[in-house]
Chain A
């Protein structure tokens, strides 16, 4: 039986309530941390665990925590990123609505470790019903003495605030999130200064993803080394994967990092295979921002070895033949999928979500959407494919925040691996624009 760190008790009836969560061993990590450990010791365990940020960038959490500036007399803040808006990603939504106390417990431990007395959970506004669930959980925890003044008689005070967003993907970017939390438009900030030095209200701030924060209870209970023993290499622990698309069993799965991609797609324990009568064409493995890979390259590395669900294995081969684990939004496409249409759809998303501060992103995302729209709708020119590659290249690396890169990669990778399909749209517009038409040329389906 694979180790479950976050979802072990998720199917216990009533787990959303304090009492049931507590009966399953909940809040023992808060007791242990606050009563028997110093904040530095908690940070040390998180460092030892090797857990990497689960919001997409994969930055080691313990290291991020140790960068937090600690000037005298200035408050420090922890902000949980529950903006979850990356297409294909729905794990934080699932975790918060089913087992809200896991996040609350993690918030208490993490806030204690960082010396924060007021911490925020920024939830995308569309999830207002989840906000109500979290607020209820906070009330319960407060009533039991796990939040508020002098928690468990230890002298430590903590208040949790749940903040709704207003609908904007860019507010998942941590500095845009902080701007939004200050009541402003979600325009990402120039870095440096980094949030660890000047974050919320210009005070030192740590921003972490829901899933990252939720791991801390287990780490405190079992120790960082036990966590690091799970997984593979520098991909320690477990990861929640949001599986969607043409599979038999879409849903959120907690996997030990290092599971072969092939098993994840075909085993009954996880996705349960491609829907009956169809074949695997492509996968976007880590949320819409990461490069798309064709069937053969998602299952196997360029050297023929099996590809694994880990940070290193998914990125093996760089962007030529690899991709990224990202947020774990695993979107599976069978042979009925038109890659051009999907790429246009994603390009429209990034254009819609660009905050508009940097010209390469603001103009480039709109330009890519327009060109992809005309290819998909039978009006493409022969030069359009190279034009897209060129625009994507000019956005990448030339913007304030990584949304520019996130917009460029899906387009560049789709052309890299499915160029024939784009050409077919341009040379056979009549055929390609028939309802439901999909390129059936030479390509490896599995």
Chain B
């Protein structure tokens, strides 16, 4: 691949293929539509949407870097700061709370020894509070990357954390 930029970040060859395929989905001249999917791709590779990565995407889509930053900061899924290995996105909304979500959340925080927005010292877990994840019948719920963990209890939370700590 040739590039004139000083960017240290580039997509891996298979992600670059994927990125090209995504950009080609939209009508001629509407390649900016690829922005959200490309930010997801960047985050999947880097763990977060770093400034260098966002500049790289801006270049790829031929748009101003600010157009990428303003989007990345609007949407809650993009991590605009570095995060731990596993980001636990915990639903704090009403229906989950009715099912005991607040108690389970308190247990999770105690277990990890961190509060919302923080990362454990070993860099393994970051805790993030999110709003409704569209799984209200199976609450309490949290998500790690693409996976939903549902019907959570304190015991189940311990199991999951144990598993991911191995």
The answer to whether A183 touches B35 (Cβ under 8 A) is yes
Query: In the complex, A341→B94 CA distance in Å?
Result: 9
Given contacts A89-B136, A243-B137, A288-B93, 8 further A-B contacts (CB under 8 A): A75-B27, A92-B134, A126-B89, A129-B146, A163-B37, A183-B35, A185-B70, A346-B94
**Interface-forming stretch among B3-11, B72-80, B110-118, B152-160?**
B72-80
Pick the residue among A86, A183, A345 that contacts B36 (CB under 8 A).
A183
**Is A201 located at the chain interface by the 8 A CB criterion?**
yes
The answer to whether A125 touches B40 (Cβ under 8 A) is yes
Query: Nearest residue in B to A355 (C-beta to C-beta)?
Result: B74
**Is B83 located at the chain interface by the 8 A CB criterion?**
no
**Interface-forming stretch among A40-48, A227-235, A329-337, A397-405?**
A329-337
Q: Count the A-B residue pairs with Cβ separation under 8 angstroms: how many?
A: 141
Pick the residue among B34, B71, B99, B145 that contacts A166 (CB under 8 A).
B71
Task: Give me the interface of B with A, judged by CB distance under 8 Å.
Answer: 25-27, 30, 32-37, 39-40, 61, 63, 67, 70-71, 74-78, 89, 92-95, 97-99, 130-139, 143, 145-148
A87-B131, A126-B134, A163-B37 known; A183+B71 contact, CB < 8 A? yes
Q: Is the interface of A mostly helix, strand, loop or mixed?
A: mixed
Question: Cβ of A329: which chain B residues have Cβ within 8 Å of it?
Answer: 136
Pick the residue among A90, A126, A128, A165 that contacts B137 (CB under 8 A).
A90
Question: Cβ of A166: which chain B residues have Cβ within 8 Å of it?
Answer: 36, 39-40, 71, 74-78
The answer to whether A183 touches B146 (Cβ under 8 A) is no
Query: In the complex, A421→B93 CA distance in Å?
Result: 21
Output the least CB separation between A319 and chain B (Å).
20
**Is A367 located at the chain interface by the 8 A CB criterion?**
no
Output the least CB separation between B5 and chain A (Å).
20
Pick the residue among B25, B36, B67, B139 that contacts A244 (CB under 8 A).
B139
Query: In the complex, A333→B97 CA distance in Å?
Result: 11
Question: Cβ of A337: which chain B residues have Cβ within 8 Å of it?
Answer: 98
A128-B40, A128-B146, A168-B76 known; A244+B132 contact, CB < 8 A? no
Query: In the complex, A22→B98 CA distance in Å?
Result: 40
Question: Cβ of A349: which chain B residues have Cβ within 8 Å of it?
Answer: 93-94, 131-132
Query: In the complex, A186→B75 CA distance in Å?
Result: 8
Query: Nearest residue in A to B143 (C-beta to C-beta)?
Result: A126
Pick the residue among B98, B130, B148 that contacts A245 (CB under 8 A).
B98
A126-B143, A128-B146, A161-B25 known; A183+B33 contact, CB < 8 A? yes
The answer to whether A331 touches B133 (Cβ under 8 A) is no
Question: Cβ of B93: which chain A residues have Cβ within 8 Å of it?
Answer: 87, 288, 345, 349
The answer to whether B131 touches A125 (Cβ under 8 A) is no
Query: In the complex, A252→B137 CA distance in Å?
Result: 8
Interface 1/0 per residue, A117-146 and B, CB below 8 Å: 010000011111100000000000000000
Output the least CB separation between B137 and chain A (Å).
4
Query: Nearest residue in B to A170 (C-beta to C-beta)?
Result: B74
The answer to whether B71 touches A185 (Cβ under 8 A) is yes
The answer to whether A244 touches B136 (Cβ under 8 A) is yes
The answer to whether B146 touches A164 (Cβ under 8 A) is no
Query: In the complex, A346→B77 CA distance in Å?
Result: 20
Query: In the complex, A180→B37 CA distance in Å?
Result: 11
Question: Cβ of B95: which chain A residues have Cβ within 8 Å of it?
Answer: 87-88, 244-245, 331
A90-B136, A251-B137, A331-B136 known; A168+B35 contact, CB < 8 A? no
The answer to whether B98 touches A164 (Cβ under 8 A) is no
**Is A84 located at the chain interface by the 8 A CB criterion?**
yes
9 tightest A-B contacts by CB?
A166-B75, A167-B77, A183-B35, A250-B137, A167-B76, A183-B32, A244-B136, A185-B74, A87-B132
5 CB < 8 A contacts A-B: A84-B134, A127-B134, A165-B36, A167-B77, A182-B30
Question: Cβ of A201: which chain B residues have Cβ within 8 Å of it?
Answer: 27, 30
Output the least CB separation between B22 and chain A (Å).
9
Query: In the complex, A242→B134 CA distance in Å?
Result: 10
**Is A93 located at the chain interface by the 8 A CB criterion?**
yes
Query: In the complex, A29→B143 CA distance in Å?
Result: 37
Question: Cβ of B26: which chain A residues have Cβ within 8 Å of it?
Answer: 161
Query: In the complex, A165→B77 CA distance in Å?
Result: 9
Interface 1/0 per residue, A319-351 and B, CB below 8 Å: 000000000010101000100011001100100
Interface 1/0 per residue, A237-253 and B, CB below 8 Å: 00000111110001110
**Is A392 located at the chain interface by the 8 A CB criterion?**
no
Residue of A90, A182, A201, A333 with most partner-chain B CB within 10 A? A90
Query: In the complex, A409→B99 CA distance in Å?
Result: 23
Query: In the complex, A262→B71 CA distance in Å?
Result: 45
Query: In the complex, A128→B89 CA distance in Å?
Result: 14
The answer to whether B77 touches A125 (Cβ under 8 A) is yes
Question: Cβ of A242: which chain B residues have Cβ within 8 Å of it?
Answer: 136-137
Output the least CB separation between B149 and chain A (Å).
13
**Is A169 located at the chain interface by the 8 A CB criterion?**
yes
